[in-house]
Structure 1
Amino acid sequence: MFSRTTQVEIQFGDCDPAGIVYYPNYFRFFDNATAGMLSAAFAMHKRNWLDHYGIAGIPMVDTGARFLRPSSFGDIVEIRSEITELGRSSFSVKHTLLNNGEIAIEAHEKRVWVARTPEGGIRSTPLPDEVRQLLEAAP
């Protein structure tokens, strides 16, 4: 399945008073890594693929992480993101964050492909065949 690696330099504002990354910021990093992975798979920026596929977004319905090692201001970490499962209208992503080549965090997320309803809400919609093929492909 499709995968991508992203580098992130930890900024001062990412850290808590103890000098380590404040844990919600990791989920921001992972959200950006997922958007970057899909942009690479679809060969277009997120603002374009939202319009191209006529969707409202890819909201998260499940997430979690196992924190093994902290990261600090100035560290350059690597996030390896990969599609692990494709459902009817959902997909799962695994993120492995490495700091100095060592696993610091293992995280997962499940997202749903959603379209807008005529009433202005959102509803899940099946993954298009093109999207499924692109996400099944190894880079």
Structure 2
Amino acid sequence: MFTNTTRVEIQFGDCDPAGIVYYPNYFRFFDNATAAMLSAAFAMHKRNWLAHYGIAGIPMVDTGARFIRPSSFGDVVEIRSEITELGRSSFAVKHSLYKDGELAIEAHEKRVWVVRGEDGSIRSAPLPDEVRTLLSQSA
């Protein structure tokens, strides 16, 4: 299925007083990596694919991570993101974060394709066939 790699340079503000990345910031990195992966798959910026597909977003309904090695200010890490599952209205993503070529974090997330109802509420919607095709392809 579709994969994409993003690079992140760890900034001073990403770190805690011990000088290592404060763990919630990794989830921010992963959120950005998912958006970058979908932007690559759809060949358009996130603001454009949100409008193009008429969706309210792709909220996360499950996430988790296994932390193996820390990262520090100035490190450049690579996040390999890949679609691992396509459901009716959801998809799963695996993130593998590498530091100096070694696996540092394994993370997962499940996202739901949502649209906004006339009353402003959000509800899940089936993945469009075009989206399913694009996310099923190898990058």
Q: TM-score, normalised by structure 1?
A: 1.00
Counterpart of 2:61 in structure 1 is 61
SS at match of 2:123: strand
Counterpart of 1:52 in structure 2 is 52
State the distance in 1 between where 2:138 and 2:97 align.
20
Counterpart of 1:26 in structure 2 is 26
**Does 1:79 find its partner at 2:79?**
yes
* Structure-to-structure mapping, 1:77-116, within 5 angstroms: 77-116=77-116
Q: Runs (4+) of structure 1 moved beyond 3 Å?
A: none
Deviations 1:82-134 (A, max 9, x none): 00000000000000000001110000000000000111010000000000000
State the distance in 1 between where 2:114 and 2:4 align.
23
State the distance in 2 between where 1:18 and 1:102 align.
22
SS at match of 1:25: helix
Which consecutive unaligned segments of at least 5 residues does structure 2 have?
none
Offset, 1:71? 0.2
**Does 1:9 find its partner at 2:9?**
yes
SS at match of 1:18: coil
Provide the alpha-carbon RMSD of the alignment. 0.3
Deviations 1:23-66 (A, max 9, x none): 00000000000000000000000000000000000000000000
Offset, 1:137? 0.3
Counterpart of 1:125 in structure 2 is 125
State the distance in 2 between where 1:35 and 1:114 align.
15
SS at match of 2:107: strand
Which consecutive unaligned segments of at least 5 residues does structure 1 have?
none
| Count of aligned residue pairs for this structure pair | 139
